Chains A and B, each alone.
Chain A
Amino acid sequence: MKGYYGVILEVDLTQGKVEKKELPEEDALKFVGGRGLGTKIVWDHLKKPYIDPLSPENPLIFAAGPFSGYPFPSASRVTVVTKSPMTSPVKPPAKTASTIGYSNMGGFFGPAIRFAGYDAIVITGRASSPVYLVIDGDKVDIRDAGRIWSKKASELEELLPLELKGEGFETCYIGPAGENLVRYAAIIHTVGRAAGRAGVGCVMGSKRLKAIAVRGKKLPPVANHKEYLKILEELRKKFASSPSTARWRRYGTAYALLSSSDRGTQAVKNYREGTFLEIDRIGGVAAEEELWVRDTACYACPLGCKKIGVVRTGRYAGTIAEGPEYETGTMLGANLLVSNLDGLMREIADVDDYGLDQISTGNVIGFLMEAYDKGLIDKAFLDGIDLRWGDVEAVLSMIKKIAYREGVGDIAADGLNPLVEKIGEKTAEFAIQVKGHPLAAWNVHTRLTQGLCYATANRGACHLNGHSARSQDFNAFIDSTGICRFASGIYSREGISKALSAITGEAWTIEDCRKTGERIFNLEKCFNYREGFRREDDEIPERFFTEPLTIGPRKGAVIKRDQFKELLDKYYRERGWDVKTTKPSPAKLRALGLDFIIKGLGD
């Protein structure tokens, strides 16, 4: 099939072995790339459940998509897929049972994988001492990482070019958090971009792999070159004239800091509220006025949604970071009642620098703040940190403790459930997670479907999952192409299917795209089902049912348990899954071409 190399680079760090493996055409057709293909590769590698996600067996996959490398607008995403080190079922059949993990990242790394001549990179094993990987087209080298180990993101950006001694490498790496196996460590690219969620940086750390550098000069031919050129031209025009392009450019996702707060949908005070009364101090308008210096964009992206800011005066002067975005500004701002914009920037900068997930870090610290506020933990528990709502210095201390697993940070680095175990069962009701994965910056009180989105996401709570089965299917498909979600609306579903047809030479319809997404979603689900995840794992925190919002335009909002249960019942039926257990029916799996997973799925 055109548009692919049909080549997967597989690196076994235990044996120091590098192999080029064939990507079966059937897999490319059925799972496309990115999230879908990555999950299929994980499935093929892990032939049984309960394999320890931090063991050498767990593969860490960097999967580009069929759009990657071509200059299609906003199609730079690469998805990192692995078995998650963050999740566990309510009734674990084994200690090491966990979900699939996937996290996607923009920038230039995805295109670089393709320029080097591969559709995906698979890392297995564990190096005996820290290493980094250099992929220079066909030439692949595993090198000693002695000089760069323990370094932070900003330091690596200085050191890696000296190590690599060549132009044009794209790199991604882990910070101290990944090395220290913080469960929610991120993989960072260009300091400000990250595959942040699902603990992918922790898995990379467990392999003692500090960094990957990739470059190359190739690009696979497309099936229908003339059509490809026509679509490129059309898309470029469409993006240039789309009103949403202008909006992304002006504020990026930060526009939502104000609008979400105004609608009561923001995570505020550890999800207790949906509106932050001081949001105008850290929102997009304030950031534009106070901080932003320039916009940056991912490969061939006309949206330019990344805002680089600098703090010029005061205690945090000299801080340079990307943001605040909606997620970072909410999780480390509104959710912690931080309204000091300069301090918020310092938090964002540090979280990136240490290589943590912005979302999980803000969520975990919010949990600790609430426990402290309620007197369930004291200053001694927090190693002397006075972790009060809105205190930037306290947040900064906590971030560092987590990254280096110092004192209380050692437990906090393991995530919410271990903290609940340590502090006490009554804190469970405000541990804002699903399947062990912390919720993101969108609150649930006002919207039943937001609850469904989090509850049914295959990596654990995920704001990008989708609010209905249909949207989840399309989203899973888009995540497999390399196209950015911010841009998929401008493409339109028809536009994406036409472009994919021109690239591959296969006739893709909109329904093919949806069905492929459904296949991918079901494969992920089956992975989880095999690990022991059942209906009781699709539960959202108590807070959203029992503690109505007390401030803002949606004061009093709360979701109803029976309505939520009804919505889930309907959802499972629509999916063709058993309503009691959530097990996908053999008929559904057969219809999706997933016959190979029916056997061995368990009861």
Chain B
Amino acid sequence: MEEREGLFVPEFLAKNSLSRREFVKSALIGSGTLAFGGFLVKAEEKQGTGGEKPRYSLVIVDYNKCTGCRTCEAVCSQANERVIIDGEELLGLGNPAEARVKVVSYNFPPVDVPNRCLECPDAPCIEACPVSPDPNTGRKALYRDEKTLAIKNDPERCIGCGNCARACEQKRVGIIKQDKKTGRPTTLCTLCEGDPQCVRYCPYDALTHFTGDGRHFALSPDKIAKRLAELWYYSGNREVGR
């Protein structure tokens, strides 16, 4: 697990009043290291100088606002598991079993951690993919989509080896699962072609679509939960939380 102890400085967690825009801004231009969404983002100095293409894009979580209602799972499933009815492609029923995002809930003390693909800039999953890069596109079976910056799998080329799932499990948040029949990765976040529906429909505005540059360190839901529990329930700090 790539993380640095002592860097988890959850400053924004105390700032409930920030609007989404201010929140992203403060996370980026604030000095030093800020934590959000299970991430540690080190704001790079070049942020704000403009001109450079963003390197990654992902959905980040404000844990102060997340209530664990799992609406994100339902809308993710609706958007990504569409159905054809009378020849027309429609949003799906919203079965959370088919969602790419998975809220990991700890009931006592109560903590909810929406886990999802973090679209890691260094993508250990892509690194682990054994399929040779396509000479024309440079893509392995697992690759980063240039437009959305989402990590995608090419089912035509995927051999179903499960290396990506294992890399995610060992090195990052363990969100990638293998399809039982095909062995292919099933729970990659598509970022809904640039308009993540979980962000759009979260009733609590707990999710934000962030595109930018920087570095991040992924934490497993267990570790995030432990830290949130410590912060909220055991730190004695009255300034945290809602």
Question: Which A residues contact B (CB, under 8 angstroms)?
Answer: 69-71, 73, 108, 115, 153-154, 157-158, 167, 190-192, 216-219, 221-222, 225-226, 228-229, 232, 236, 239-240, 288, 292-302, 304, 306, 308, 310, 312-313, 317-318, 320, 322
| Contact across chains for B107 and A190 when beta carbons are under 8 A apart | yes
Contacts of A240 in B (CB 8 A): 203
Q: Mark B209-242, 1 if CB is under 8 A from A, else 0.
A: 0000000000000000000000011101010111
Q: Is the CB of B110 within 8 A of A308?
A: yes
Set of chain A residues within 8 Å of B91, measured between Cβ atoms: 229
B69: which of A153, A218, A232, A304 is its contact (CB, 8 Å)? A304
**Interface flags, B88-127, vs A, CB<8A=1, else 0:** 0011011111100000111111101000000000000000
A216 to B98, CA, bound (A): 11
B151 in contact (CB, < 8 A): no
Q: Does B201 contact A (CB under 8 A)?
A: yes
Can you give 27 contacting A-B residue pairs, CB < 8 Å?
Answer: A69-B95, A115-B95, A115-B96, A153-B108, A154-B108, A158-B108, A190-B105, A191-B107, A225-B85, A225-B90, A228-B93, A229-B90, A236-B201, A294-B67, A294-B232, A294-B242, A296-B69, A296-B110, A297-B67, A297-B203, A299-B69, A301-B67, A312-B236, A312-B238, A320-B108, A320-B109, A320-B233
A157-B107, A292-B242, A294-B242 known; A219+B90 contact, CB < 8 A: no
With both chains docked as a complex, state the minimum distance between the C-beta of A593 and any C-beta of chain B, in angstroms: 31
Asked whether, in the complex, the Cβ of A222 is within 8 Å of the Cβ of B110, the reply is: no
Q: How far is the CB of B197 from chain A (nearest CB, A)?
A: 11
CB distance from B241 to the nearest CB of A (A): 4
B83 proximity list for chain A (CB < 8 A):
225
Return A304 CB to nearest CB of chain B, in Å: 4
Residues of A within 8 A of B104 (CB): 167
CA distance A158 to B107 in the complex (A): 9
Contact B109–A301 (Cβ < 8 Å): no
Fill in one digit per residue for B37-51: 1 if any A CB lies within 8 Å of its CB, else 0.
000000000000000
Question: Given the complex, which residues of A lie within 8 Å of B130, measured CB to CB?
Answer: none
Closest B residue to A114 using CB positions: B95
A/B pair count, beta carbons within 8 Å: 118
Q: How far is the CB of A219 from chain B (nearest CB, A)?
A: 4
Q: Does B140 contact A (CB under 8 A)?
A: no
- Interface segment, B21-29, B70-78, B153-161? B70-78
**Is A298's CB under 8 angstroms from B95's CB?**
no
At the interface, yes or no: B183 with Cβ under 8 Å from chain A? no
How distant is the Cα of A157 from the Cα of B98 in the complex, in angstroms?
26
A395 to chain B, nearest CB (A): 22
With the chains together, A141 CA to B12 CA distance in Å?
45
Q: In the complex the two chains form, what is the Cα distance from A70 to B242 in whole Å?
A: 29
Q: Mark B57-72, 1 if CB is under 8 A from A, else 0.
A: 0000000100111110
Chain A residues in 8 Å Cβ range of B241: 292-294
**B residues within 8 A CB of A158?**
108
How far in angstroms is the closest Cβ of chain B from A363? 26
In the bound complex, what is the Cα–Cα distance between A235 and B241 (angstroms)? 29
| Chain A residues within an 8 Å CB radius of B90 | 225-226, 229
Complex Cα distance, B74 from A191, in Å, reads 24
Residues from chain B with Cβ under 8 Å of A219 in the complex: 93-95, 97
Contacting pair B94 A71 (CB below 8 A): yes
Q: Which 10 A-B pairs have the closest CB atoms?
A: A71-B74, A302-B203, A293-B241, A217-B97, A297-B69, A297-B67, A157-B108, A219-B95, A71-B94, A190-B107
- In the complex, what's the smallest C-beta–C-beta distance from B222 to chain A, in angstroms? 11
